[in-house]
Amino acid sequence: MNWLVKSFYLIFIFPAVIALTFTVSARPSDSAQGAWPVTQRCLGLPVEAPDAPFPGMLVTVADDAVRAYREGVPTTYVLAFAGGNFLRGASVSPDGQVIAVPNGVITAVTSSDVRYSVQEIRIVTTETVPRIAVRIPWRASFPMGSLFTSTGDIPTVQWLDSERFLFVEGLASEEQRWVVVRPFDAGAQPETAAVQDALTRSPDGSRTVAVRSSERVLIDAASGQTLVGLPASADVSRAQWTPDSSTLAISYREGGVERLTLMDTASGAQSDVFVFEPYQKARSVRWSPDGTRLAFTVFDPQTGMNRLHIADRAAHAVSDLCVDLEIAGSEPFTSSVVWSPDGKSLAMTTAQAVPNAVISIADVETGRRWTLLPASGELSGWYD
């Protein structure tokens, strides 16, 4: 039997661009049994930007600065410079109005004893001329190589909503705790978070993922009780919640291959979405704003390819968009793709540009793609 069938459905021709959409059906390998079928739906080649203005604001994070790009501004502008600011710990509020930036000093006691000390958390507006709206005195330190600084940085501010965020308080030599901060309420004091060992928290705060007794588990945040166990090899650092907190996307390795699976946070039921070839890994996992589609990249360290895919929950199908996203150093950008607020478009850092990578915008329905601006770090988010 011929297990490889190619069906060419339609060729869309735009000025200076040809977008080809086709399906490829192949006999699945034993390791891919149960995963969703994959169809190639290639995006078009980049064209000039459309006449319509760019909607909203994009935020990028690089080693030297956090930058924003928004409608009506001809270039990017800086929200926070490096130096006293710990950029990898910074985070934009869900409404896109402000960014919380931990600020402090790096102290080298010895060559093997380097500490990050947060002395202040600054709430900076994201308008075209940013200003520090609130300064919150802080007391926390993190030795390099600790749980929080395994990537060379401090914890990231975790916004619960546009009025509250979570951050770690306390020196490394003391007992540290996650606290809830209300930056716009001058009289409010930090409140101890219900679950202290959480590695990632659901948007509504009802569920957390933690490691307890060397096991990865899903926890009820109110009671602290374990709800269900996660796969032993689950990469919880890349776990992604749907906006309504009902589903958790996680990747894990089993039988020498990595799998991307969806877990129902109420029942614990799991469904494999994609099974990777040996040595391939999941990267840049991002839910659409309505939680119906999951963007992710398939990174192959042997070829250096970091290929963009979209999983559709309603169709139980995966689309390969035939686009190679940018890779930084030995690891791909953790955030090389973000969804638009309306879920109709993707911003992506593409590697298909010479000599430098660029940020391009793609309409996920039509496949039309255009170049926006030169890339300047990881994509953090796209806001109204």
Task: For residue 339, give the amino acid letter.
Answer: W
Q: Are 182 and 171 in contact (CB under 8 A)?
A: no
The torsion region of residue 16 among left (phi > 0), alpha (psi -120 to 50) and beta comes to left
Look up tokens 């080649």; give the residue.
Answer: 45
Strands 198-201 and 207-212 turn out to be: antiparallel
CA atoms within 13 A on the CB side of 190: 18
Per-position DSSP letters for 295-348, written without gaps between them: EEEEEETTTTEEEEEEEETTTTEEEEEEEEBPEETTEE-TTSEEE-TTSSEEEE
- Find out whether 374 and 62 touch, Cβ atoms under 8 Å: no
Reading the chain (384 residues) residue by residue, the pLDDT tens digits are 333 333 333 333 333 333 444 333 333 344 456 799 999 999 988 877 777 678 899 999 998 999 999 988 888 999 999 989 999 899 999 999 999 999 999 988 887 788 899 999 999 999 999 999 999 999 999 988 665 544 456 889 999 999 999 999 999 888 889 999 999 999 899 999 877 877 788 988 889 888 787 788 999 888 888 999 988 888 776 789 999 999 999 998 888 889 999 999 988 899 999 999 998 988 889 999 999 999 999 999 888 889 999 999 999 999 999 999 987 544 544 568 999 999 999 999 987 655 678 899 999 999 999 988 888 888 999 999
- Determine the pLDDT at residue 23: 38
The whole-number pLDDT of residue 14 equals 34
Tell me what pLDDT residue 195 has: 78
What's residue 191's pLDDT?
93
Torsion angle of the four alpha carbons 226, 229, 233, 237, in this order, in degrees rounded to the nearest 10: -40
Residue 246's CB: how many other CB atoms inside 10 A?
17
- Paired sense of beta strands 77-81 and 91-92, if any: unpaired
CB of 372 within 8 A of CB of 358?
yes
Question: What is the C-alpha separation between 54 and 32, in angstroms, rounded?
Answer: 39
Name the residue with tokens 């559709």. Answer: 312
d(CA 83, CA 65): 9
Residue type, 217: V
Amino acid 134: pLDDT: 98
Which pLDDT value is given to residue 147? 57
- So where are the chain's domains? 1-63+280-384, 78-193, 198-275
